Structure 1
Protein backbone atom coordinates (compact mmCIF):
# COMPACT_ATOMS: atom_id res chain seq x y z
CA UNK A 1 0.00 0.00 0.00
CA UNK A 2 2.86 2.35 0.85
CA UNK A 3 4.34 1.72 -2.62
CA UNK A 4 1.03 2.61 -4.30
CA UNK A 5 0.60 5.83 -2.27
CA UNK A 6 4.16 6.93 -3.11
CA UNK A 7 3.52 6.23 -6.81
CA UNK A 8 0.28 8.19 -6.70
CA UNK A 9 2.01 11.18 -5.05
CA UNK A 10 4.73 11.18 -7.68
CA UNK A 11 2.15 10.85 -10.48
CA UNK A 12 0.33 13.94 -9.18
CA UNK A 13 3.61 15.86 -8.85
CA UNK A 14 4.59 15.01 -12.44
CA UNK A 15 1.16 16.03 -13.74
CA UNK A 16 1.41 19.37 -11.92
CA UNK A 17 4.90 19.87 -13.34
CA UNK A 18 3.66 19.24 -16.90
CA UNK A 19 0.72 21.62 -16.46
CA UNK A 20 2.99 24.34 -15.06
CA UNK A 21 5.46 23.92 -17.93
CA UNK A 22 2.69 24.08 -20.53
CA UNK A 23 1.21 27.13 -18.80
CA UNK A 24 4.58 28.89 -18.76
CA UNK A 25 5.08 28.14 -22.44
CA UNK A 26 1.67 29.59 -23.25
CA UNK A 27 2.20 32.68 -21.06
CA UNK A 28 5.63 33.45 -22.51
CA UNK A 29 4.43 32.68 -26.03
CA UNK A 30 7.20 30.14 -26.60
CA UNK A 31 4.64 27.48 -27.52
CA UNK A 32 3.94 27.05 -31.22
CA UNK A 33 0.32 26.22 -30.37
CA UNK A 34 -2.50 28.24 -28.87
CA UNK A 35 -4.38 27.04 -25.79
CA UNK A 36 -7.16 25.53 -27.94
CA UNK A 37 -4.65 23.77 -30.19
CA UNK A 38 -2.73 22.49 -27.18
CA UNK A 39 -5.86 21.03 -25.59
CA UNK A 40 -6.92 19.49 -28.91
CA UNK A 41 -3.49 17.92 -29.41
CA UNK A 42 -3.45 16.71 -25.82
CA UNK A 43 -6.59 14.64 -26.21
CA UNK A 44 -6.52 13.73 -29.91
CA UNK A 45 -2.91 12.82 -30.77
CA UNK A 46 -0.47 10.07 -29.86
CA UNK A 47 2.18 12.53 -28.66
CA UNK A 48 0.36 13.37 -25.44
CA UNK A 49 -0.64 9.75 -24.97
CA UNK A 50 3.07 8.92 -25.00
CA UNK A 51 3.70 11.71 -22.44
CA UNK A 52 0.95 10.35 -20.21
CA UNK A 53 2.38 6.82 -20.54
CA UNK A 54 5.85 8.07 -19.61
CA UNK A 55 4.43 9.81 -16.54
CA UNK A 56 2.62 6.65 -15.45
CA UNK A 57 5.75 4.51 -15.91
CA UNK A 58 7.95 6.99 -14.01
CA UNK A 59 5.41 7.20 -11.19
CA UNK A 60 5.17 3.41 -11.00
CA UNK A 61 8.96 3.04 -10.78
CA UNK A 62 9.61 6.01 -8.46
CA UNK A 63 9.23 4.17 -5.14
CA UNK A 64 11.78 1.60 -6.30
CA UNK A 65 14.56 4.09 -7.10
CA UNK A 66 13.41 7.11 -5.08
CA UNK A 67 14.00 5.53 -1.67
CA UNK A 68 17.34 4.16 -0.54
CA UNK A 69 19.28 2.75 2.35
CA UNK A 70 22.85 4.06 2.70
CA UNK A 71 25.59 3.21 5.17
CA UNK A 72 28.23 5.35 6.82
CA UNK A 73 30.96 3.82 8.94
CA UNK A 74 30.45 4.79 12.55
CA UNK A 75 28.49 4.21 15.74
CA UNK A 76 25.09 5.79 16.45
CA UNK A 77 25.82 6.33 20.16
CA UNK A 78 29.42 7.47 19.73
CA UNK A 79 28.66 9.76 16.76
CA UNK A 80 25.26 11.00 17.97
CA UNK A 81 26.27 14.68 17.90
CA UNK A 82 27.64 14.40 14.34
CA UNK A 83 24.41 12.69 13.23
CA UNK A 84 22.21 15.40 14.74
CA UNK A 85 24.43 18.15 13.26
CA UNK A 86 24.43 16.56 9.79
CA UNK A 87 20.64 16.35 9.81
CA UNK A 88 20.24 19.86 11.23
CA UNK A 89 22.46 21.36 8.51
CA UNK A 90 20.38 19.48 5.91
CA UNK A 91 17.11 20.91 7.25
CA UNK A 92 15.94 17.96 9.38
CA UNK A 93 15.36 17.61 13.10
CA UNK A 94 15.13 14.65 15.46
CA UNK A 95 11.48 13.77 16.10
CA UNK A 96 11.69 10.46 17.95
CA UNK A 97 14.08 7.83 19.20
CA UNK A 98 13.00 4.29 20.08
CA UNK A 99 14.85 0.98 20.30
CA UNK A 100 18.06 2.43 18.86
CA UNK A 101 16.30 3.97 15.83
CA UNK A 102 16.40 7.74 15.42
CA UNK A 103 13.70 9.31 13.23
CA UNK A 104 14.32 12.66 11.57
CA UNK A 105 11.77 14.80 9.72
CA UNK A 106 12.04 17.95 7.59
CA UNK A 107 11.83 21.24 9.49
CA UNK A 108 9.85 23.40 7.07
CA UNK A 109 6.55 22.96 5.27
CA UNK A 110 8.22 23.84 1.95
CA UNK A 111 10.83 21.12 2.38
CA UNK A 112 8.11 18.60 3.31
CA UNK A 113 6.20 19.62 0.18
CA UNK A 114 9.29 19.30 -2.01
CA UNK A 115 9.81 15.79 -0.63
CA UNK A 116 6.11 14.97 -1.31
CA UNK A 117 5.47 14.38 2.37
CA UNK A 118 8.04 11.56 2.41
CA UNK A 119 10.45 13.46 4.65
CA UNK A 120 11.08 10.75 7.26
CA UNK A 121 14.62 9.40 7.47
CA UNK A 122 15.44 6.62 9.92
CA UNK A 123 18.89 6.14 11.43
CA UNK A 124 19.92 2.82 12.95
CA UNK A 125 23.00 0.76 13.71
CA UNK A 126 23.97 -2.31 11.68
CA UNK A 127 27.31 -3.78 12.78
CA UNK A 128 29.94 -1.10 12.28
CA UNK A 129 27.65 0.94 10.06
CA UNK A 130 25.21 3.78 10.63
CA UNK A 131 22.27 3.06 8.32
CA UNK A 132 20.26 5.93 6.79
CA UNK A 133 16.91 4.87 5.32
CA UNK A 134 14.55 7.24 3.49
CA UNK A 135 13.99 9.34 0.39
CA UNK A 136 17.05 9.48 -1.88
CA UNK A 137 17.39 13.28 -1.96
CA UNK A 138 17.38 13.63 1.81
CA UNK A 139 19.58 10.60 2.48
CA UNK A 140 22.19 11.67 -0.09
CA UNK A 141 22.57 15.14 1.47
CA UNK A 142 22.81 13.82 4.99
CA UNK A 143 25.12 10.95 4.08
CA UNK A 144 27.69 13.30 2.54
CA UNK A 145 27.63 15.64 5.54
CA UNK A 146 27.63 12.86 8.13
CA UNK A 147 30.58 11.12 6.49
CA UNK A 148 32.48 14.43 6.46
CA UNK A 149 31.63 15.20 10.10
CA UNK A 150 32.70 11.74 11.27
CA UNK A 151 35.98 11.93 9.33
CA UNK A 152 36.71 15.41 10.75
CA UNK A 153 36.08 14.11 14.28
CA UNK A 154 38.41 11.14 13.75
CA UNK A 155 41.17 13.38 12.38
CA UNK A 156 41.00 15.84 15.31
Structure 2
Protein backbone atom coordinates (compact mmCIF):
# COMPACT_ATOMS: atom_id res chain seq x y z
CA UNK A 1 0.00 0.00 0.00
CA UNK A 2 2.86 2.35 0.85
CA UNK A 3 4.43 1.75 -2.58
CA UNK A 4 1.08 2.55 -4.24
CA UNK A 5 0.81 5.90 -2.43
CA UNK A 6 4.42 6.84 -3.23
CA UNK A 7 3.85 6.03 -6.91
CA UNK A 8 0.66 8.11 -6.92
CA UNK A 9 2.45 11.07 -5.37
CA UNK A 10 5.29 10.85 -7.90
CA UNK A 11 2.82 10.84 -10.77
CA UNK A 12 0.85 13.71 -9.20
CA UNK A 13 3.96 15.88 -9.01
CA UNK A 14 4.97 14.92 -12.55
CA UNK A 15 1.54 15.94 -13.86
CA UNK A 16 1.70 19.22 -11.92
CA UNK A 17 5.13 19.99 -13.38
CA UNK A 18 3.81 19.20 -16.86
CA UNK A 19 0.84 21.55 -16.42
CA UNK A 20 3.03 24.35 -15.06
CA UNK A 21 5.50 23.87 -17.91
CA UNK A 22 2.72 24.03 -20.49
CA UNK A 23 1.25 27.17 -18.95
CA UNK A 24 4.70 28.76 -18.76
CA UNK A 25 5.39 27.86 -22.39
CA UNK A 26 2.08 29.39 -23.45
CA UNK A 27 2.87 32.58 -21.52
CA UNK A 28 6.40 32.83 -22.95
CA UNK A 29 5.30 32.30 -26.55
CA UNK A 30 2.33 34.63 -26.29
CA UNK A 31 -0.21 31.95 -27.19
CA UNK A 32 -2.04 32.38 -23.87
CA UNK A 33 -5.05 34.70 -23.97
CA UNK A 34 -4.32 35.76 -20.38
CA UNK A 35 -1.43 37.46 -18.65
CA UNK A 36 0.38 35.82 -15.73
CA UNK A 37 -1.70 37.76 -13.18
CA UNK A 38 -4.95 36.88 -14.94
CA UNK A 39 -3.94 33.23 -15.20
CA UNK A 40 -3.20 33.04 -11.47
CA UNK A 41 -6.50 34.76 -10.67
CA UNK A 42 -8.46 32.36 -12.88
CA UNK A 43 -6.63 29.38 -11.40
CA UNK A 44 -7.53 30.33 -7.86
CA UNK A 45 -11.03 31.70 -8.36
CA UNK A 46 -12.82 29.62 -11.03
CA UNK A 47 -14.10 26.09 -11.38
CA UNK A 48 -12.12 25.44 -14.57
CA UNK A 49 -8.83 24.96 -12.78
CA UNK A 50 -10.49 23.08 -9.95
CA UNK A 51 -11.65 20.58 -12.58
CA UNK A 52 -8.09 20.36 -13.93
CA UNK A 53 -6.78 19.79 -10.41
CA UNK A 54 -9.44 17.12 -9.78
CA UNK A 55 -8.48 15.38 -13.04
CA UNK A 56 -4.80 15.41 -12.04
CA UNK A 57 -5.64 13.94 -8.62
CA UNK A 58 -7.84 11.25 -10.21
CA UNK A 59 -5.17 10.29 -12.76
CA UNK A 60 -2.50 10.14 -10.08
CA UNK A 61 -4.73 7.98 -7.91
CA UNK A 62 -5.31 5.32 -10.58
CA UNK A 63 -1.89 5.46 -12.28
CA UNK A 64 -0.21 2.79 -10.11
CA UNK A 65 -3.05 0.40 -10.89
CA UNK A 66 -2.63 0.71 -14.66
CA UNK A 67 0.97 1.89 -14.96
CA UNK A 68 2.53 -1.30 -13.60
CA UNK A 69 2.06 -4.71 -15.17
CA UNK A 70 3.10 -8.34 -15.08
CA UNK A 71 3.67 -9.88 -18.52
CA UNK A 72 4.72 -13.38 -19.55
CA UNK A 73 6.86 -14.68 -22.38
CA UNK A 74 7.11 -18.38 -23.12
CA UNK A 75 10.62 -19.53 -22.31
CA UNK A 76 13.10 -20.51 -19.62
CA UNK A 77 15.34 -18.12 -17.70
CA UNK A 78 18.33 -20.47 -17.79
CA UNK A 79 18.03 -21.48 -21.46
CA UNK A 80 17.17 -17.98 -22.67
CA UNK A 81 19.48 -16.01 -20.38
CA UNK A 82 21.41 -14.48 -23.29
CA UNK A 83 18.20 -13.37 -25.04
CA UNK A 84 16.93 -11.84 -21.79
CA UNK A 85 20.15 -9.89 -21.28
CA UNK A 86 20.15 -8.72 -24.92
CA UNK A 87 16.49 -7.65 -24.79
CA UNK A 88 17.07 -5.57 -21.67
CA UNK A 89 20.35 -4.16 -22.96
CA UNK A 90 18.73 -3.00 -26.21
CA UNK A 91 15.88 -1.39 -24.20
CA UNK A 92 18.39 0.56 -22.06
CA UNK A 93 18.39 -1.60 -18.93
CA UNK A 94 21.18 -3.49 -17.21
CA UNK A 95 21.26 -6.40 -14.77
CA UNK A 96 21.68 -5.22 -11.20
CA UNK A 97 21.11 -8.44 -9.27
CA UNK A 98 20.45 -12.12 -9.85
CA UNK A 99 19.40 -13.80 -6.61
CA UNK A 100 17.08 -16.70 -5.81
CA UNK A 101 15.95 -17.11 -9.42
CA UNK A 102 14.92 -13.45 -9.75
CA UNK A 103 16.83 -11.14 -12.07
CA UNK A 104 16.49 -7.41 -11.36
CA UNK A 105 17.12 -4.86 -14.10
CA UNK A 106 17.37 -1.06 -13.79
CA UNK A 107 17.59 1.73 -16.36
CA UNK A 108 21.09 2.62 -17.51
CA UNK A 109 20.98 6.40 -17.73
CA UNK A 110 19.60 9.22 -15.61
CA UNK A 111 17.30 10.53 -18.34
CA UNK A 112 15.51 7.21 -18.65
CA UNK A 113 15.23 6.92 -14.86
CA UNK A 114 13.73 10.40 -14.73
CA UNK A 115 11.22 9.60 -17.49
CA UNK A 116 10.18 6.50 -15.55
CA UNK A 117 9.86 8.60 -12.34
CA UNK A 118 12.49 6.49 -10.59
CA UNK A 119 10.33 3.38 -11.05
CA UNK A 120 12.80 1.79 -13.45
CA UNK A 121 13.10 -1.59 -11.75
CA UNK A 122 11.91 -4.63 -13.71
CA UNK A 123 12.01 -8.07 -12.12
CA UNK A 124 12.32 -11.25 -14.19
CA UNK A 125 11.37 -14.64 -12.75
CA UNK A 126 10.27 -18.07 -13.86
CA UNK A 127 6.70 -19.34 -13.47
CA UNK A 128 6.19 -22.76 -15.00
CA UNK A 129 6.99 -22.49 -18.69
CA UNK A 130 6.80 -18.69 -18.60
CA UNK A 131 9.36 -15.94 -18.10
CA UNK A 132 7.56 -13.33 -15.98
CA UNK A 133 8.36 -9.61 -16.38
CA UNK A 134 7.13 -7.38 -13.54
CA UNK A 135 7.50 -3.59 -13.55
CA UNK A 136 6.44 -0.30 -15.10
CA UNK A 137 4.30 -0.73 -18.22
CA UNK A 138 6.52 1.32 -20.57
CA UNK A 139 9.66 -0.63 -19.73
CA UNK A 140 8.00 -4.05 -19.63
CA UNK A 141 6.24 -3.53 -22.97
CA UNK A 142 9.49 -2.64 -24.75
CA UNK A 143 11.39 -5.55 -23.24
CA UNK A 144 8.56 -8.05 -23.74
CA UNK A 145 8.39 -7.34 -27.47
CA UNK A 146 12.16 -7.65 -27.89
CA UNK A 147 12.46 -10.74 -25.71
CA UNK A 148 9.63 -12.51 -27.51
CA UNK A 149 11.28 -11.71 -30.86
CA UNK A 150 14.72 -12.86 -29.69
CA UNK A 151 13.37 -16.14 -28.32
CA UNK A 152 11.41 -16.84 -31.51
CA UNK A 153 14.51 -16.12 -33.62
CA UNK A 154 16.62 -18.59 -31.61
CA UNK A 155 13.91 -21.27 -31.84
CA UNK A 156 13.71 -20.86 -35.61
CA UNK A 157 17.50 -21.00 -36.13
> Normalising to structure 1: TM-score of the pair?
0.99
- 1:76-155 matches, cutoff 5 A: 76-155=77-156
Residue 70 of structure 2: SS of its match in structure 1?
Answer: strand
Post-superposition offset of 1:70: 0.2
Alignment partner, residue 70 of structure 1: 71
Query: RMSD between aligned alpha carbons?
Result: 0.4
* 1:14 corresponding residue in structure 2: 15
Unaligned stretches of 5+ residues in structure 2: none
User: SS at the partner of 1:13?
Assistant: helix
How many angstroms apart in 2 are the aligned matches of 1:34 and 1:72? 53
Report the Cα distance in structure 2 between the residues aligned to 1:72 and 1:135, rounded to whole angstroms. Answer: 16
Q: What number of residue pairs does the alignment pair up?
A: 156
Shift of 1:150: 0.3
Number of the residue aligned with 2:26: 25
Give the structure-2-normalised TM-score.
Answer: 0.99
Q: Which 4+ residue blocks in structure 1 deviate beyond 4 angstroms?
A: none
Q: Cα deviation per residue 1:9-51 (whole Å; 9 max; x = unaligned)? A: 0000000000000000011111111111100000000000000
Tell me, what secondary structure is at the counterpart of 1:49?
Answer: helix
Alignment of 1:45-60 (within 5 A): 45-60=46-61
Q: CA deviation at 1:71?
A: 0.3
Shift of 1:77: 0.4
Partner deviation per Cα, 1:75-121 (whole Å, 9 max, x = no partner): 00000000000000000000001110000000001110110000000
Q: Report SS of the residue matched to 1:75.
A: coil
Tell me how far 1:149 sits from its aligned partner: 0.3
- Where 1:104 maps in the other structure, the secondary structure is strand
Superposed displacement of residue 131, structure 1: 0.3
SS in 2 for 1:56: helix
Residue 65 of structure 1: how far off its partner (Å): 0.2
